[in-house]
Amino acid sequence: GITESTRGMLGYTTRGEVEADIARFDAQNAHLIERVEQSSLQGIIDDPELLHFATAGGASIFRNNCSQCHGAGAGGTLGAYPSLLDDDWLWGGSVEDIHQTISHGIRWEEDWDTRLSMMPAFGSDEILNPDDIVAVAAYVMSLSGRAVEGDLALGGEIFQLECSACHGADGRGDQMLGAPNLTDSIWLYGNTAEEVIQTVSTSRAGVMPAWIERLSTAELKQVAIYVHSLGGGQ
C-alpha cells in the first residue's frame, strides 16, 4: 500500500522540505523553548521576550489542535464547545487554571487529574417529575433577570434542595466544582425554556482531551498563555 507521498526527481519531496524548515526553526528557537520549559507561567508573562514568543507559538498550537472544536477565533459553538473569549470559566480563568484544564482535560477517563463534575439527569434518572423540572427550569432562567412564567416559588424550593449544593444558594456557581454561574447571560447549551428543561432533564457532560501526553511542556505553557491572552482570562 501507499506509505508516503510520491517522490520527485532525485528523491525530492515537499514533505522533506517542510521537515527541514521545522528543524531549522526549532534550532533557532531552542534557547527560548528551553527558557519557557524552565520558567513558571507567571515568569513567562513577566518577561516581554518570552511572553511574545509564547503567545505567538501558542496561537499556532491552538490553530493546529484546538480550533477544530473552539473555532479559529476561539468563539466556540453554541450547544457544544465553550467560547474562550468571555470571562465565564467553569474551573477558573487564571493562567494556572487554564494550564491545568488543557493538560488534564475535562472528563477524560484516561487521566486521573482530569477536571471532573457531573450534573444529575433529574428527568432521565427520575429524581424529579416533569412538573418539578419545568418549575425549576423557570426559576433558573429567572436568576439572570429574565421575566419568565411558571411556579417560581416551587422552582426556588426545588433549586435549594437539589441544585444549590453545587451552584450555590444564589446560583452563582462554584469553580472548585465546575458548576456554572446561572445568574449571567452566558449559556453554553442555550437559554430557551426547552433547552434549559432538557439540560435539567438529561444533564450535560462535554469531554475535552487531556493534552499532557500530546504536547510538550513548553507547548502546554504556550497555548495556556495564548488562551489566557484572548481577553477572557482572569
- Kindly indicate the confidence band of residue 22, based on its pLDDT and cuts at 50, 70 and 90: low
Which helix (H) or strand (E) segment holds residue 42: the answer is helix 41-46
Condensed to tens digits (0 to 9), the pLDDT of residues 23-55 reads 776 777 899 999 999 999 999 999 999 999 999
Buried b (16+ CB within 10 A) or exposed e, 79-111: eebbbbbbebbbbbbbbebbbbbbbbbbebeeb
The predicted structure's pLDDT at residue 167: 97
Percent of the chain with pLDDT over 90: 84
> In whole angstroms, how far apart are CA 114 and each of 11, 131, 152?
45, 35, 36
Cell digits for 17?
522540505
Report the alpha-carbon distance of residue 62 to residue 73 in Å, rounded. Answer: 10
What pTM was computed for the model?
Answer: 0.86
The predicted structure's pLDDT at residue 233: 81
Condensed to tens digits (0 to 9), the pLDDT of residues 91-143 reads 999 999 999 999 999 999 999 999 999 999 999 999 999 999 999 999 999 99
Whether 19 shows a pLDDT value over 80: the answer reads no
Beta bridge partners of 106: 115, 208
Which helix (H) or strand (E) segment holds residue 67: the answer is helix 67-70
